[in-house]
Amino acid sequence: MGIIEQASSYAAQIDNLILIVGAFVMFWFVLAQGIIFYFLFRYRKKRQPKAEYITGEKHSETKFIHWAHWGVIACDLVIIFFAIKAWYHVKQELPTADTTIKIVGQQWAWEFTHPGPDNILDTEDDIVTIDELHIEVGKVHHYKLSSKDVLHDFSVPVFRLKQDAVPGRVITGWFKPIKTGEFDIQCAEMCGIGHGIMAAKLYINSKEDHAKWLESPNLKYTLYQEPKEEVEQ
Ligand SMILES: [Cu+2]
């Protein structure tokens, strides 16, 4: 559904929630407009030349407000129920990780640390990239999100995922990509003059392609690394 593809396991759930809100809004909009136009037509001057003054205090009159009022509250309860369910699934639950990545936001780029072929972070074979994230389809990914400077927001529209990066904190979250392809990542929190161009690419690959990339990650940008001091024997 929708204009933007659904590429995570929970994308459909988020879309359905928005659909429920849209359906309720549409229902009340059509109903209210229908009543207005019905009255406009029914009590037009030709049929009702003399206007009546109604104070609107009788129960038979107030019920038109109260019924609609309770109806809207009932819709709210349904929305709140599904919203909490979605929130709990995306932000509170943490399915067991198949792999864990590190994401660091900074003015104005994203730095991704992939665990490399051994699938363990903070080891020699980690692959650090700038503005490109390479992941494998169908795997549950945990991410450890942090920021080097100011507030950023890690936003992946095809995942229906947004998570603030807060300086001084490491925030853990998860996603499970369900289709391969090349998608957008964008910072979604005003973070300075370069905020608008703080974008990155997400590459969701098949198992085979991802294994190939791990073997030879041809990187567009490489990080500057302090040259290792050679110890003379
Ligand atoms: Cu930003």
Note the pLDDT tens digit of each residue in 25-51: 999 999 999 999 999 999 888 887 888
Q: For the chain, what is the mean pLDDT?
A: 91
CATH 2.60.40.420 domain position(s) in the chain: 99-215
Q: Find the 38 Cα to ligand 1 centroid distance in Å.
A: 49
Beta-carbon contacts of residue 184 (< 8 Å; ≥ 6 apart) = 156, 157, 158, 199, 200, 201, 202
| Interval 107-112 mean pLDDT | 94
Tell me the residues surrounding ligand 1 (ion) with CB < 5 Å: 187, 191, 195, 198
Distance CA 135, CA 13 (A): 22
Q: For residues 95, 136, 191 and 161, what is the CA-based torsion angle, rounded to 10 degrees?
A: -50
Q: Find the 123 Cα to ligand 1 centroid distance in Å.
A: 29
Distance CA 165, CA 102 (A): 12
Q: Find the 169 Cα to ligand 1 centroid distance in Å.
A: 17
Q: Find the 17 Cα to ligand 1 centroid distance in Å.
A: 26
| Interval 78-104 mean pLDDT | 96
Q: Find the 4 Cα to ligand 1 centroid distance in Å.
A: 21
pLDDT of residue 17: 96
pLDDT of residue 7: 95
pTM for the structure as a whole:
0.83
Q: Domain 99-215: what homologous superfamily? A: Cupredoxins -  blue copper proteins (2.60.40.420)
Cβ atoms of residues 139 and 98 within 8 Å? yes
| Interval 92-118 mean pLDDT | 94
For strand 132-136 and strand 152-156, is the pairing parallel, antiparallel, or unpaired?
unpaired
Residue 23 pLDDT > 80: yes
